[in-house]
Amino acid sequence: MRKISFSLAAPVGAFFLTLVVSTIALMAFGSSPTEAYGDMLSHASKLETQVDIVNRATPFYLSAVAAAIGFRMNLFNIGVEGQYLMGFLFAAQVGGLVSLPQVLHILVIMLTAMIVSSLYAGLAGILKTTRGVNEVISTIMLNAIAIGGLIAWLQQEWQGDLGENFSSTSLGTKPIDESGLLPTINGLLELVTREVGQGKELTGMFLIAILVGVAYYVLLNRTRFGFDLRASGINPFAARAGGVPPKRMVLAAMMLSGAVAGLIGIAAAPDFTEELIWSSLSDTAKADFQNSGQITFENPYGDDPVIYTYQLIQDGREHLRLQAPLRTPATLFSAACRPEPACTLWRKCPLWGPLGEVTSRKRGHASHG
C-alpha cells in the first residue's frame, strides 16, 4: 500500500498543482473557474472528444515509455525525437517499396521503425561506453545530425514519383499501399459505447501502446534483465561486483529505449483532414459548403461559431499521401489548433515534406505541417 501511495504521489500532486495554477490564472483574468472547468468536463464527456484525446495522447505515452526505460538506469535519452524520425523515415521508405498481406506489411513497417530507431539510439550508448560521452550531449547532437543532416539528404535520395502532385512542398517517398495502413478500432470501441460520429477514428496504435506499457512493466519489474538494469542504475559499482556488465546494460537500455521510440511516428498519424469535416456532412451540406465556400460548426469553447473554408478541404486534397507533407521534422502534429474538427493528423504520407519549412497558418486553422 505504501509503495502504491508513493507511486501515485507524483501524478496526483501534479494534477492538483495544475488545478491550483489554472484557477489562479482564470481568476486573474476575471473568469469563473467553476464555469470553465464545467465546460471542459462537458466537452470531455463526449465520445468523439475522448477518441481525439486518446489519439493525441498515444504518441506522448510512447515517448514517455521510451524515456522511462533510460530513466530506470539513470540514463537521460534526450534524443527520442531524432530516433523516431529516423525510424519513421526508413519505415516509410521500406513500406512504400514492399507489397505484402496486411498483417505482414504492417509488421515489416513497425519492425523497420523499431530497428532503425534502436540502432540510432545505440550510437549514444556506444559513445558513452567507449568514449565516456555523456548521453545527454550525444543524444542532443544526434538529434541535430538526424534532423538537419541525414533526413534532409535521404528524403532527396528517396523521393518518390508523385506525378502531378509533385511540388517543392510535397516531397515524399513512394506512397504506402492500403495494406500497410494500421486499421482503426472503432468496431471494438462501439461494442461498449455508441457509434462514433463526426468521422472520428480510434487509431489501432492505442492497443499497441497498451501492449508496450504491459511489456515495459513486466520486463523491468518481473525479469532478471529488468533487475540488472535497475541495479546498474541505482549502484553501478555494486552491480558490477554482482556480475552485471555495466557497459552492456547501458547499450541495452539505450537500444531498447530507441526501439520504443520507433513506434512514435506510426502512432502520430491516425486520420484525415477531409474525413474529419467532409465525410461527416450530408450531400446537401456538401453542396452548400461548395457553393458558399465556407461552413460553420458549434464552438465548444465559446459562443462564436467555428468557420471552415472550402479552400481548407481543397488544400488537403492536394497533399493526400499520409495525407499531407510534414513541413518540419520537429513534430508530427499537423495542427496546433482549436477547435477540434480542424485539428488533424494525416496518415497516408509515407514521408513528410521538406525540412525546415514551417507553415505560417494562424492558430485556429488546420495546417499541412
* pLDDT tens digits for range 233-265: 888 888 888 899 989 999 999 999 999 999 998
Q: From the CB of residue 68, how many other CB atoms can be counted at a distance below 10 Å?
A: 15
116 with 249, same domain?
yes
Asked if 145 and 93 sit in the same domain, the reply is: yes
Partners of 306 in beta bridges:
297
- The 10s digit of each residue's pLDDT in 10-60 is 889 999 999 999 999 999 999 899 999 998 899 889 998 999 899 889 999
Decide if pLDDT at 332 tops 90: no
Statement: residue 89 has pLDDT above 70: yes
Tell me the pLDDT tens digit for each residue of 145-172.
998 888 888 877 887 665 554 444 445 6
Residue 40: inside a domain: no
Band (122; pLDDT cuts 50, 70, 90): very high
- 104 and 64 share one domain: yes
What domain count does the chain have? Answer: 3
Residues 25 and 131 in one domain: no
Q: What are phi and psi of 184, to 5 degrees?
A: -80, 165
- The length of the chain in residues reads 369
In a domain, 367, yes or no: no
Contact 302, 329 (CB under 8 A): no
Mean of pLDDT over the chain: 79
Q: Quick one: 108 and 178 in the same domain? A: yes
Q: Where are the alpha helices (DSSP H) in the chain?
A: 2-28, 33-44, 47-71, 80-97, 102-131, 135-145, 151-157, 186-190, 205-221, 224-234, 236-241, 246-261, 264-267, 273-277, 283-292, 310-317
229, with CB counted inside 10 A (0-12, 13-18, 19+), is buried
Whether residue 154 is found in the same domain as residue 229:
yes
Identify the weakest region by mean pLDDT among 90-94, 128-132, 152-156, 165-169.
165-169
Q: Are residues 193 and 227 in the same domain?
A: yes
Residue ranges making up the domain that contains 333? 273-342
Q: Say if residue 149 is in the same domain as residue 254.
A: yes
For 294, the enclosing helix (H) or strand (E) is strand 294-297
Q: Last residue of some domain: 237, 267, 297?
A: 267
Q: Among 27-41, 99-113, 290-304, where is mean pLDDT lowest?
A: 290-304
What pLDDT is attached to residue 237? 87
- pLDDT tens sequence across 198-216: 778 898 999 999 999 999 9
CA-wise closest residue to 89 among 352, 360, 301 = 352
| Helix spans in 202-360 (H) | 205-221, 224-234, 236-241, 246-261, 264-267, 273-277, 283-292, 310-317
Query: Of 213, 239, 267, which residue sits at a domain end?
Result: 267
Asked, for residue 349, whether it belongs to a domain, the answer is no
pLDDT tens across 264-289, in order? Answer: 988 754 334 555 677 778 888 888 88
Note whether 154 and 241 are same-domain residues: yes
In a domain, 359, yes or no: no
Residue 349: what pLDDT? 38
Residues 169 and 221 in one domain: yes
Q: Is residue 43 part of a domain?
A: no
Alpha carbon 252 to chain centroid, angstroms: 24
Q: How much is the pLDDT for 292?
A: 86
- Extract the C-alpha cell encoding 113: 521503425
User: Do residues 120 and 220 share a domain?
Assistant: yes
* pLDDT value of position 5: 82
* Residue 184 forms part of a structural domain: yes
Identify whether residues 206 and 307 lie together within a single domain. Answer: no
Distance CA 145, CA 133 (A): 16
- The verdict on residue 314 lying in a domain is yes
Label residues 120-136 b or e (16+ Cβ within 10 Å = b): bbbbbbbbbbeeeeebe
